[in-house]
Chains A and B, each alone.
Chain A
Amino acid sequence: MRIGKKTALNLLRDSDLLELGRIADGIRKDLHPDGIVTFIVDRNINYTNACINKCRFCAFYRDPDSPEAYVLDEEQLFEKIRETIHQGGTQILIQGGLHPALELSFYTEMLKSIKKHFNINVHGFSPPEISYIAEKSGLTLRETLLTLKDAGLDSIPGGGAEILSDRVRKVLSPKKIRSSEWLEVMEEAHGLGIKSTATMMFGSIEGEEDIIEHLDAIRSLQDRTGGFTAFIPWSFQPGNTEIAKQEPDVNSQPATRNPQLIPATAVDYLRILSLSRLYLDNIKNIQASWVTQGLKMAQAALRFGANDFGSTMIEENVVKAAGVSFRVTREDIINSISQTGFRPAQRDTRYNIIKHF
């Protein structure tokens, strides 16, 4: 039976984590009875760090006119893709800042040239980017998505969701698209047959109700479209971010729950992960976030609802900019999975298994 918002809120506030974990573990086992834990070999490519959104939790972005701002040229991009394929990669995750000088043609040309030269899945452009491209080009979201799809876009990453509660977004990322627009981009994309993931960044200033609101928004949309392949909760990393440097403003409106910005702890992570597995009964895969939690915690996460280890991340820049860097090889991931008694398997973007280990 499906749990409601009120039950979920109670579970988040006050429940025995081991009991919650046991239930989540049982659901994971029912959905994935063969004991397989998957991962994908891919690379994060950030085509630009210039961004007009300037989210206060982000340590990666630069002002478009900053001397540290960059845009990758085609040769740099191709070299990264060649390395990815050479290492057995099947996907590139292309994301970047909202760069005011880049037109729709920049994105379509990039996609076309990648597809012309390489056989690789392009998992690209989170909803804030797609919304920005649409706005600048004067096209509707649907037209923009169709243009990008025709140019070679295969699937969309679930980033930029942060917490889908406008109360929180106003403080955290006032210039970033609102919840409804994030959901609208995903709904349009799913309608065009473009699959996506969904993320949630918790542990900044949100309250417990905001987390439930987020989970509920994802579940409702998934009921309509079925287009989410996976859900990925991860915790805010405060290093080098504007919001962590700033003096806490106790009078801010809306009031913030976490004015000192103490990072979410491991127990918080496992609780939210387990609750996600319980609540999102219509999403098949839940990813463990070794990038933010480390390999040992990701292993523990496999018994608290997660069934996927995410990406090998041949390159990762955004979390690293916030001072968190776990260096991990594909072998580390395979070993980490088999060490915990699961069968490691490499998958593609749509969770088809490519290779068992």
Chain B
Amino acid sequence: MLETIKQKILAGERLSFEEAVALFHDDDIHTLGKLATSVAEKKNGNRAYFIQNRHVNPTNICVNRCRFCAFSRSTGEKGAFELSIDEILRRIELSPEGLREIHIVGGLHPDRPFEYYLSLLRELRKHFPRIHIKAFTAVEVDYFSGISNLGLRDTLLSLKKSGLDAMPGGGAEIFANSIRERLCPEKITGERWLEVHRTAHLCGIKTNATMLYGHFESSEDRIDHLVRLRELQDQTGGFQAFIPLSYHPQNTDMGGRYPSGIDDLKTIAISRLVLDNFPHIKAYWVMLGEKLSQVALLFGADDIDGTVIEEKITHAAGAMTGEGLTKAEMVNLIRKAGKVPVERDAFYETVKVYA
């Protein structure tokens, strides 16, 4: 570990771009993990969070065909689906007691009007007034602003008025244009993604941020991504959690390999160290596997996401995890990592501490 970087971290000073890149090339993962843990503990003590949540994908029909995606279909293609609002409501009714959050992301459907999304939110709000709705990535919101002709701000305000509580962080991938062109040429640019989140924050909508890593990108591209998020967070403070997403190669056009377990742990730790203004770093167990996400709690993560009923997108690309974990399993994973399990809602408010 480069001694000056270590001293800076311990003194609570911000890392430069070059210093952050150097961390990726350092082999001392044990020290890296300890430093990340010290930062995580300053922010969240010995707590680690989880949530009882479920996923809903209204459709997999998408006008974008990102090369890393194994989930999307074209209209009429085998395996394409679209759920009606009633079908979505019925699925949520079947969820176990204690659900705190519905996570909704879907494809960019060529025909559905903006009104469908607004009435989906209204119906959800009406039927499940106590469950938070975290819905629509920046990519979807940008698309809605096109089909609604309302512009970004009014699109977001309409969604919020209809019941949107928070936005997930998907669609960020890697901001660098050179990588994005190879990864997802049809998707909005990194600049636009940041613009959507900035506007959401200004409308009072909290959001998350993600980074899809382990494909074509360099360490510099990863740090560029993190630094741009850090800059926006300095301005708005609207991000809640950062979630590094480990690339899954199966059934995608791009193929390739899974990133190594060591790379996954390093990426969590470096995210924690660079994003000094983000309250939470999430080790999303669906992507990392429950085993590695547990170990990630010792590398700076303070959240392992949730019970995640019905995850489809990562599983389409060869996730080796089950489609859900029980509350008892989450509590056990966190406890065995030596942390105090805290069940949270979508805004990181404590629901229950499992002392």
Contacts and interface: CB of A to CB of B under 8 A. Distances in A.
A265 B333 contact: yes
A295 B298 contact: no
A265 B294 contact: yes
A266 interface: yes
A21 to B, nearest CB: 6
A299 B260 contact: yes
A44 to B, nearest CB: 21
Pick from B30, B31, B37 the residue with the most CB of A within 10 Å: B30
Interface residues of B, number: 30
B103 to A, nearest CB: 24
A300 B336 contact: no
A167 B225 CA distance: 55
A219 interface: no
Nearest to B29: A303
A350 B78 CA distance: 52
Contacts of B290: 266
Given A265-B294, A267-B295, A297 B337 contact: no
Nearest to B339: A267
Contacts of B291: 265-266, 269, 293-294, 296-297
Contacts of B37: 18
Nearest to A326: B320
Interface string A238-268: 0000000000000000000000001001111
B33 interface: yes
Interface string A285-323: 000000001111111101100000000000000000000
Nearest to A269: B291
A2 B346 CA distance: 50
Contact of B320 (A17, A18, A294): A294
A336 B260 contact: yes
Nearest to B337: A267
B257 interface: yes
A296 B260 contact: yes
Contacts of B33: 18
Contacts of B294: 265-267
B30 A303 contact: yes
Interface string A7-32: 00000000011110110010000000
B263 interface: yes
Contacts of B29: 303
B264 A22 contact: no
A329 interface: no
B289 interface: yes
Interface string A268-288: 111000000000000000000
A340 B261 CA distance: 8
Contacts of A18: 30, 33-34, 37, 298
A236 B34 CA distance: 29
Contacts of A138: none
A293 B290 CA distance: 10
A25 B262 contact: no
B337 A265 contact: yes
A341 interface: yes
A228 B331 CA distance: 38
B75 to A, nearest CB: 34
Contacts of B262: 299-300, 302-303, 339-341
A62 to B, nearest CB: 27
A237 B44 CA distance: 33
A268 B336 contact: yes
A25 B258 contact: no
A335 interface: yes
Contact of B332 (A265, A269, A341): A265
Contact of B27 (A266, A268, A293, A341): A341
Pick from B31, B257, B261, B264 the residue with the most CB of A within 10 Å: B261
B270 to A, nearest CB: 15
Contact of B336 (A265, A293, A296, A326): A265
A267 to B, nearest CB: 5
B265 interface: yes
A267 B294 CA distance: 7
B336 A297 contact: no
Nearest to B246: A296
A16 B262 CA distance: 18
Given A303-B29, A326-B320, A266 B260 contact: no
Interface string B286-325: 0011111011001000000000000000000000100000
Interface in B265-294: 265, 288-292, 294
B54 to A, nearest CB: 24
Nearest to A325: B320
A29 to B, nearest CB: 11
A326 B320 CA distance: 8
A260 to B, nearest CB: 9
A270 B295 contact: yes
Contacts of A262: 332
A267 B298 contact: yes
B189 to A, nearest CB: 31
A268 B264 CA distance: 19
A303 B332 CA distance: 24
Contacts of A299: 260-262
Given A17-B298, A265-B333, A296-B289, A22 B260 contact: no
Interface string A52-69: 000000000000000000
Interface string B19-43: 0000000010111011001000000
A326 B264 CA distance: 19
A323 to B, nearest CB: 11
B195 to A, nearest CB: 35
Contact of B265 (A268, A300, A336): A300
A82 to B, nearest CB: 31
Contacts of A294: 289, 291, 320
Pick from B27, B33, B295, B338 the residue with the most CB of A within 10 Å: B295
8 contacts: A19-B30, A25-B30, A296-B258, A296-B288, A300-B295, A336-B260, A339-B259, A341-B27
Q: Which 7 A-B pairs have the closest CB atoms?
A: A296-B261, A266-B291, A22-B30, A299-B261, A339-B260, A265-B336, A300-B261
Given A21-B30, A295-B261, A296-B288, 11 more contacts: A18-B30, A22-B30, A25-B30, A265-B294, A268-B336, A293-B291, A297-B292, A299-B261, A300-B262, A339-B262, A340-B262
